[in-house]
Structures are given as structure tokens and as C-alpha cells.
């Protein structure tokens, strides 16, 4: 298909691929009722001509000849690709001779080159109204209709043209393109119905190459872009159409989609309602308005329940809201975060962590969800994961608060890698001195090596390890100073309790205190601990 529309130069035998300047004025068809009026070819106007300072002579001018001159000047501008200037000259010719079909045909060619296919189609329709046998008018009507994506209009124009001249092949490319366009439209519709938006977008792009003025295909493309989260591109298309077609319900609907899926629920809802005001039967706008209203109501209800401390009701409401539109990632990420806060209040820490992770899966830059998850990991003493989250948060937020949280999590992680003496003794951090002694006595008797003299070598080693750890734990936790330093993590790097602790000595001191004098451990007399034997394999 030729890229440049061929303007009418008044020669029916001219090639559609070459612009030829018309040498003779074209005679208009007889004027019919309802068509633009034209002056008679013999009609003239009088133009003032100054002969001398006191007398003015009026010279008759042929209006049709003047109109023809305007057309010829327009042709010259068109050949130089100065389409705006050509458009102006053709409009002047039409003003002088509104009943000449060729002038409208030429102006329609200018409109096509300027991308204004709708105006081009209107002009060529006027030309055909003036002259029903204006073959070039049907050619251009088919081209314009195809550019606008009007399949039915294109078919009608082609059919009328072939009725006038069955052997003419001037529209062979348009006939092939029309078939291709119809096929692409069907494929795009099928993919859209299957929610295969990526493939639908592909077919829309190919259809737009054939019909660059098709608003329908552009809006379908924009809708697919919105569903693929390419909101800026979708928005640009919708706005560009709204600028020239402010009452296009489809364009307003697509604009609403981009707002709704960009976490602007209120404005999105307003656009859906506006689309329905223009087209009450707009099914898509109706469905999205209902969904947006429900989502808004559930979200606000959940927030109110949270504020009033009704956490279980808030949990149920946020869950219901999350089921309304899985496609809306921005709003759902906030709903997951809100539900995480509720789960945290209810003591459901694992569920709260899962909700934070879901929020981050939808929006990886959601700082509140990241910090909340880090806090939850910290509270569950999963310091490794807490450190990872705080380190990630610090890349985006270098505030002192985040730095301090990371420093504390790293410190707790380092503490957690030490032996847990409370766990070894089976007591809590709030255990009294007496409870610590009782716990040591009970477990030391269980794990003393002499109790396992007949065990396998592997089992003996395991019991010796546990017996030694009991001694370490008792040494630290029974001493208030050492216990305090252990609890606070002071001198964390230097603390190595196992190297200088003799578990047998602690055991003898605990169970046989009479063997020890003022000198502390047995050394120069007064003890008979030799009567107690120990076996270490």
C-alpha cells in the first residue's frame, strides 16, 4: 500500500503512484438536492481596480477559475510535502467552489498525510455525496476506513468501487490488508478472553501497523499494558485519546484502570463511574466499579476494626479484601502488611512473617513490610534472618534508627552463637540461684561419666560432653558477676569458658563440700576425695 495518498489532479487515467498536475479545470457533476451549492461557471465577482485617483473600475473575476488556481497552488505545496499549506489552499478552493468533488478529495489526501484520518474520511464522504461516481473517492474512503480500523466501512467502500469498475486493481493491497486486519482482531479478542494479555498486545501492535488511526485497537493495547503493569504506557495512550475524544467511555475506563492498579483507588473509582455515566451499559466499567467499591469498603472497615482493637474481626476483614482482586498488587501488598500487624497482635508471629513476605513479593521496595518482618524475626530470636532484613533495609534507608536496629540484631546474633547455658541447665533467664543449683544437681547426676561406664565409646563421649557443658553453665550462672556479663554479652569475643573449667572439680565441690577447706579446692590435706573414683574412658 502506497504511503502517500494520491491527490486528485483531475485526470482519471493518472497513476495512483505518481502525482500529476491537472492542467484543465474539472467540471463538477450536476448539483443535487442536499449537496453543497456552487456558483455557475459563468458567475463572476467584481474586483476593484484603481484607474486614477478619482475613479475606481470593477473588473469581473471567474470564481471557478480562482478556485482552480487555489487547487493548483495546493497541488504544488502537496508535492513539496508542505501539507499544512496545501490544506489551507484546498480549503480556500472549497470555499470558492463548494460543489467540486475533487477539491474535497485533494484535501482528504492532506488530512491523511497529517494523520487525521477522521477528517480525511469526512471530506471524501462529502466528495462522494457530490458525485456518486467519483471512483477516486471510494478508493480514498477504503484507505481512510482501513486506517481507522473500520472493517465494515472498508468492505463497503471496496464493494462500491468494484461495482463501478470491476476490473480495477487499485485496492488490491487494501483488500489483502483488510483480511489481515480482520484476522488480527479475532486473534487479539481470543487472547484477551483467555487473559493472555502479552499475546493480545502482540496482535494489537500488528493491527495498529495496518490501522494506525484505530482507537479501538489502541485502547485494547492500553488495557493489555495496564494488566501487564506497564501503567505509564497505558496511561499515555488513554490520555492522548481523551484529549481528542473527551467523551470516549472506553478511554476513560482504561485511564481508570491505570489509576486503580497504581494504588489510586479513589480516582480509579471516579473514572469507572464517569465511564458509566457516558455509557450505562459499559460492562467492564460496571464490573470494575463494583470491585473497586468492595475493595475500598473492606480496606476501610479493616482499618477501623484495627484502630478499635478488634483484631480478630480485622483479620477476617483483611482476608476477605485480599480475595477480591489478586491482580491489584499495590493495594494487596498493603493489605498483607496490615494483616501482618493484626497477626502480630494476636501472637501469630509465623503467620505475620508470612504476610510480610507476601507484601514484599508484591512490592519489593515496601520498607514498612521489610522492617516489620525483621522485627518479627528478632522477636522470634531468628537473628540471622533479622540481620539480613535490616541489612537490606539499610541500603534504602541510611537513618540512625535502621543502623541501630542492625547493630543490635548483629549483637544478638553473635550472642546466640554462644552456648545457651540456660538451655543446658533447663532453666529460664529469670531462674533464682536456688533453682540453678537444683537444676545442676539433677542433670549432673544423669550425665556423670561413671553412670555410663558400660556404654559404647560414642555414647561415653556424648555424656562426657554434656557433663562438661553442665559444669560450664553452672560456673557462669551461679556467679552473679559472670552471669550479668553473660546476659549482657560483654566481652563476647573473649569469653571462652570451656578452656579453664574442670567439670570433675565442680562436681566434687558441689556434692562433697567437706573435702574443701579454706583454701578452696583440695590441695594440702583435709580431703579424702581419693576415695571417689572417676572414669573418663
Please choose, from the candidates 59, 122, 111, 47, the residue with its C-alpha nearest in 3D space to the C-alpha of residue 83.
111
Mean pLDDT of 44-52: 46
Quick one: pLDDT band at residue 455, thresholds 50, 70, 90? confident
pLDDT in tens, 343-394: 999 999 999 999 999 999 999 999 999 999 999 999 999 999 999 999 999 9
* Arch. (CATH architecture) of 421-531: Orthogonal Bundle (1.10)
- pLDDT of 473 > 50? The answer is yes
pLDDT in tens, 77-135: 999 999 999 999 999 999 999 999 999 999 999 999 999 999 999 999 999 999 998 88
- Here the cell at position 72 is 493548483
**Of residues 11 and 3, more confidently modeled:** 3
Q: Is the pTM of this model over 0.95?
A: no
**329 vs 227, 261, 266, 362, CA distance in Å?**
11, 7, 16, 6
Average pLDDT in the chain: 84
| Beta strand segments in 69-175, E | none
- pLDDT of 12 > 70? The answer is no
Confidence at residue 271, expressed as pLDDT on a 0 to 100 scale: 98
Mean pLDDT of 501-527: 51
Alpha helices in 38-100 (DSSP H): 63-79, 83-96
Confidence at residue 534, expressed as pLDDT on a 0 to 100 scale: 39
- Here the cell at position 495 is 569469653
Q: What residues contact residue 87 under an 8 Å CB cut-off, 6+ apart?
A: 74, 107, 110, 111, 114
Confidence at residue 352, expressed as pLDDT on a 0 to 100 scale: 98
For Cα atoms 79, 81, 83, give the angle at the middle one, nearest 5 degrees.
110
User: Averaging pLDDT over each range in 75-84, 453-462, 520-529, which range is the top one?
Assistant: 75-84
440 vs 401: CA distance, rounded Å: 41
Topology of domain 44-48+57-132, CATH: 1.25.40
Confidence at residue 11, expressed as pLDDT on a 0 to 100 scale: 44
Mean pLDDT of 307-332: 96
**242 vs 134, 201, 247, 344, CA distance in Å?**
35, 21, 7, 46
pLDDT in tens, 210-262: 999 999 999 999 999 999 999 999 999 999 999 999 999 999 999 999 999 99
- pLDDT of 27 > 70? The answer is no
- pLDDT of 24 > 70? The answer is no
Confidence at residue 463, expressed as pLDDT on a 0 to 100 scale: 86
Confidence at residue 59, expressed as pLDDT on a 0 to 100 scale: 56
Amino acid at each position: 500500500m502506497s504511503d502517500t495518498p494520491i491527490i486528485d489532479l483531475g485526470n482519471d487515467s493518472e497513476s495512483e503512484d505518481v502525482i500529476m498536475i491537472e492542467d484543465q479545470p474539472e467540471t463538477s457533476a450536476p448539483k443535487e438536492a442536499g449537496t453543497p451549492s456552487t456558483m455557475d461557471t459563468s458567475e463572476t465577482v467584481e474586483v476593484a481596480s484603481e484607474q486614477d485617483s478619482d475613479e475606481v473600475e470593477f473588473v469581473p473575476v471567474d470564481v471557478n477559475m480562482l478556485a482552480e488556481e487555489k487547487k493548483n497552488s495546493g497541488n504544488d505545496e502537496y508535492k513539496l510535502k508542505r501539507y499544512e499549506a496545501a490544506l489551507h489552499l484546498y480549503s480556500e478552493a472549497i470555499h470558492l467552489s463548494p460543489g467540486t468533488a475533487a477539491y474535497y478529495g485533494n484535501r482528504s489526501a492532506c488530512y491523511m498525510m497529517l494523520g487525521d484520518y477522521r477528517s480525511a474520511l469526512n471530506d471524501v464522504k462529502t466528495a462522494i455525496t457530490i458525485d456518486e461516481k467519483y471512483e477516486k473517492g471510494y478508493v480514498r474512503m477504503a484507505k481512510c476506513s482501513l486506517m481507522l480500523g473500520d472493517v465494515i466501512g472498508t468492505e463497503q467502500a471496496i464493494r462500491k468501487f468494484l461495482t463501478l469498475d470491476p476490473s480495477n486493481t487499485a485496492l488490491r493491497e487494501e483488500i489483502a490488508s483488510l483480511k489481515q486486519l480482520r484476522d488480527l482482531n479475532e486473534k487479539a479478542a481470543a487472547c484477551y478472553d483467555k487473559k493472555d494479555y502479552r499475546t493480545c498486545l502482540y496482535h494489537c501492535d500488528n493491527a495498529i501497523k495496518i490501522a494506525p488511526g484505530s482507537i479501538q485497537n489502541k485502547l485494547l493495547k492500553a488495557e493489555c499494558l495496564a494488566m501487564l503493569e506497564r501503567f505509564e504506557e497505558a496511561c499515555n495512550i488513554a490520555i492522548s485519546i481523551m484529549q481528542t475524544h473527551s467523551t470516549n467511555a472506553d478511554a476513560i475506563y482504561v485511564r481508570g484502570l491505570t489509576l486503580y492498579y497504581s494504588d489510586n483507588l479513589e480516582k480509579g473509582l471516579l473514572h469507572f463511574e464517569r465511564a458509566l455515566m457516558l455509557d450505562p451499559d459499559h460492562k467492564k466499567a460496571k464490573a470494575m466499579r463494583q470491585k473497586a467499591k468492595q475493595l475500598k469498603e473492606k480496606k476501610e472497615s479493616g482499618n477501623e476494626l484495627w484502630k478499635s482493637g478488634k483484631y480478630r474481626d480485622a483479620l477476617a476483614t483483611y482476608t476477605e479484601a485480599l480475595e477480591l482482586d489478586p491482580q491489584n498488587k499495590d493495594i494487596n501488598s498493603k493489605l498483607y502488611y496490615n494483616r501482618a500487624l493484626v497477626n502480630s497482635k494476636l501472637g501469630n508471629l509465623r503467620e505475620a512473617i508470612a504476610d510480610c513476605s507476601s507484601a514484599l513479593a508484591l512490592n519489593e521496595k515496601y520498607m514498612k513490610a521489610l522492617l516489620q518482618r525483621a522485627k518479627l524475626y528478632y522477636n522470634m530470636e531468628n537473628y540471622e534472618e533479622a540481620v539480613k532484613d535490616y541489612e537490606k533495609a539499610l541500603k534504602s534507608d541510611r537513618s540512625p534508627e535502621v543502623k541501630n536496629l542492625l547493630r543490635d540484631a548483629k549483637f544478638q546474633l553473635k550472642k546466640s552463637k554462644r552456648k545457651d547455658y540456660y538451655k543446658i541447665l533447663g532453666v529460664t533467664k529469670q531462674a533464682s540461684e536456688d533453682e540453678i543449683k537444683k537444676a545442676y544437681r539433677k542433670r549432673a547426676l544423669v550425665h556423670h561419666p561413671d553412670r555410663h561406664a558400660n556404654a559404647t565409646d560414642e555414647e561415653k563421649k556424648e555424656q562426657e560432653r554434656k557433663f562438661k557443658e553442665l559444669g560450664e553453665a553452672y560456673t557462669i550462672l551461679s556467679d552473679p558477676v559472670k552471669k550479668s556479663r553473660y546476659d549482657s554479652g560483654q566481652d563476647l569475643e573473649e569469653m571462652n569458658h570451656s578452656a579453664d573449667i574442670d567439670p570433675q572439680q565442680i562436681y566434687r565441690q558441689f556434692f562433697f563440700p567437706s573435702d574443701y577447706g579454706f583454701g578452696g579446692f583440695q590441695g594440702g590435706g583435709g580431703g579424702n576425695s581419693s576415695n571417689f573414683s572417676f572414669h573418663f574412658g
